[in-house]
Chain A
Amino acid sequence: MNSPDDDAPRLKIDHQACLRSGQCAYLQPGLFEMNPDGAPVVLTPTVHGEQIDQAKDAIEMCPGQAIALLQARRG
């Protein structure tokens, strides 16, 4: 990736909204895992290339709508 990490989109979980279904870690194990308490953890805070599509898949499939992809600030 030629863009520095500061410019890459960031993955964020809203733990209040999270329903702990585990769907994110199941469908996109490269981006998320479940900790032993059953709460999801983001493995790659910034995402690049095909990870962006993977993140969008996780966002769409999350039953709590608890995942967001924050675009890097520009300018």
Chain B
Amino acid sequence: MVEDSLDGDFDFFDADFQKHPHEQFRRMQKECPFAHTNVPFDWYAVTREADVRALLADWELWTSNSGPGLANAGGGVLVSVDPPEHIFDRRLINKAFSPSQLLAMEADIVKLTNELIDSFVERGEGDLMELLAIPLPLIVIARLLGLDPELVQQMRPRADMVIHPATPPGKITPPRQDTPASRYFQSMLDARRKMHAAGESMPADVLSTLVSAELEGRTLTDDEVLGFMFFLFIAGSQTTTQMIGNLVYRLLQNPDQLAKVQADRSLVPQAVEEGLRYDAPVHGLFRTNTRDTEVHGVQIPADTKVLCTFGAANHDPEFWDSPERFDVERPFQKTKNHYSFGKGIHYCMGAPLARLEGAVALRAVLDRLPNLRLVAEPEVISAYVLHGVETLPVTWDAPREGTR
């Protein structure tokens, strides 16, 4: 154990850790595969691919019922609940995110992406996060859920809201706050309930699905509907923003790789997948053991929080050849085994949507922002489990007047 004030193997909230996570993960894999920290209280992390795989597979021992974050935030939806409730949640929402549904949305997403690029392409420079990677996923998820894309762009939820350890262990997350966002969501729900009660035809979106849904002969309560809406809104926006930003950053950092994708667009899905592997937008999520157990010889009591470190598993040399090489030609059949969408029963429901948005965004960037290059090193997010670039200052060759 490391001495001094830090009584543990690592400090996840340390700025240096956040700047060089892969080096830290590698050290943890080698030296302490079941690493302990006491910041802000006792918890552990598994970093080896085999361990992350094993924990995610055994949901009866490693439950999500206490939430996917450090705070005990049980009783939620999807990501914070195990079977049997989880199966209901998953079936209910899955239709909106099914690959066949997404196929129908692809043209819309392409159009939206091009409209966004139209709005800034002539500037020839800017922060690609602000210009594209932030608004695109927000507008897409707003449309899917049935929210106003203009309004939600002002809200900009942070994905770590869901999982931030703001609450001490043992405490349940406080009830919904009264914020402009919560008031807006409530007003949308009220309006939709009126339409439903009046038998009017409702828009084909997730809000309609939730308002019409029945669970054991009853409709969902306001808290349940809003729980779904907030979760999907947050999970569907910033994670995808990070995926797009991190991917474009790695391509700019590796011009030979960028040139390969530029020359052969059939590599786009592989590049998106390699981007997901290389930079997990979420470093990892937590599980909680339902009974006393032992990991790598360490005894832990029931109700201990353990981080399944997706970002570390994605770089485990026991599983990947040259994991530190960013390689857009890595075969998809191998790369798809990354952990950035989790694995097992809680596998990310939005994965097909994220992959689609990533591919559409990358094609648009390649087609419409020629000679794209970094003008400065990006700022890096330093926020708990979120990983990646916060800014992406770039220039490109703007179209000359009349050539568009």
CA distance A57 to B88 in the complex (A): 12
Query: Which residues does chain B contribute within 8 Å of A19, judged by CB atoms?
Result: 336, 341, 347, 351
A1-38 CB mask vs B (1 if < 8 Å, else 0) is 00000000000000010011111001100000010001
- In the assembled complex, how far is the CB of residue A4 from the closest CB belonging to chain B, in whole angstroms? 32
Query: Which residues does chain A contribute within 8 Å of B99, judged by CB atoms?
Result: 63-65
CA distance A17 to B42 in the complex (A): 40
A20-B336, A21-B351, A38-B337 known; A61-B343 Cβ under 8 A:
no
Asked whether any CB of chain A lies closer than 8 Å to the CB of B333, the reply is yes
Task: Determine if B349 and A22 form an interchain contact, defined as CB atoms under 8 angstroms apart.
Answer: no
CA distance A61 to B341 in the complex (A): 16
Interface residues on A, range: 10 to 19
Asked whether any CB of chain A lies closer than 8 Å to the CB of B344, the reply is yes
Query: Which residues does chain B contribute within 8 Å of A16, judged by CB atoms?
Result: 333
Asked whether any CB of chain B lies closer than 8 Å to the CB of A60, the reply is yes
Query: Which residues does chain B contribute within 8 Å of A61, judged by CB atoms?
Result: 90-91, 94, 98
Asked whether any CB of chain A lies closer than 8 Å to the CB of B126, the reply is no
Task: Determine if B87 and A22 form an interchain contact, defined as CB atoms under 8 angstroms apart.
Answer: no
Query: How many residues belonging to B are interface residues under a CB distance threshold of 8 Å?
Result: 21
Which residue of chain A has its CB nearest to the CB of B83? A26
Select A23's contact among B95, B333, B337, B347, beta carbons within 8 Å: B347
Task: Determine if B343 and A20 form an interchain contact, defined as CB atoms under 8 angstroms apart.
Answer: yes
Asked whether any CB of chain A lies closer than 8 Å to the CB of B372, the reply is no
Task: Determine if A60 and B336 form an interchain contact, defined as CB atoms under 8 angstroms apart.
Answer: no
Which residue of chain A has its CB nearest to the CB of B95? A60
Query: Which residues does chain B contribute within 8 Å of A27, judged by CB atoms?
Result: 87, 90-91
B91-122 CB mask vs A (1 if < 8 Å, else 0) is 10011001110000000000000000000000
CA distance A22 to B345 in the complex (A): 6
CA distance A16 to B343 in the complex (A): 17
Which residue of chain B has its CB nearest to the CB of A16? B333
A16-B333, A38-B337 known; A60-B98 Cβ under 8 A:
yes
Asked whether any CB of chain A lies closer than 8 Å to the CB of B204, the reply is no
A16-B333, A63-B352 known; A21-B343 Cβ under 8 A:
yes
Q: 7 A-B Cβ contacts within 8 A? A: A20-B336, A23-B347, A26-B344, A63-B99, A63-B347, A65-B99, A65-B100
